[in-house]
Structure 1
């Protein structure tokens, strides 16, 4: 990366993406919990008091569902106007979680590569190759903001903007 300002902007945008991805999963789990009789009653009072080692019910918050499974369950229960783009969100999350990002030369942005887990002969396939430039961040922040807007509306929550 060429200078400190570019690096700071990149870090801020990356933080927005990660924070929004975490919020999307939690909001989807909250929506599912509210629509499941067994978990809807307890989650608001139990979650803040849990400690390591506690045993809890297997519900929308505690189950091992991955992000794709959780979003599918959400979309299955959500009204059609609140359904969200599962593949785009999961692909972004997977690239950030399992990819490699790096700066190179005098570039003003980082590059993100995600590799397959399976070999093809002795080679590994590149699944994603993205330049994490301003346009990439803007498009992905918009994608996640639209999903968050739908999730908060489906939960009847007020969405707050952090400055």
Structure 2
């Protein structure tokens, strides 16, 4: 049940889901040439990128404000792409808004669903399938409510961080 001003939306009505693709060894470098190449959770640390590979021949590009989710091995890590362009490997999917939905709201919304998605992860190496994401129903509040929700969540996290740092 959601408030009257909210609507339930199919994921595909709000977003594009972009699956990454691995590059051959000859297609990337460690010299900073080209755009960053993100291969998986090892490149994400506390919501920030740890970049050690680049490519001048990108195949699958995430753009600024895409929400990236790790989908193989260490699954469910989320980070908002703050760079203009990055190549994403197959261990990553990019969620790109095709509506006015706020990326920060999307991040918290997807985070809410992560435990259920992780439980459905299958295989020897756990993974999130495209269908796991594409089949989500997203509760969509008006834009001002999205902003208020994000602000409240971030304020709460700041308080929790402060408490934890003082223990």
| Structure (1 or 2) with the greater helix fraction | 1
| Structure (1 or 2) with the greater strand fraction | 2
TM category, shorter: under 0.3
State the TM-score, normalizing by the size of structure 2: 0.28
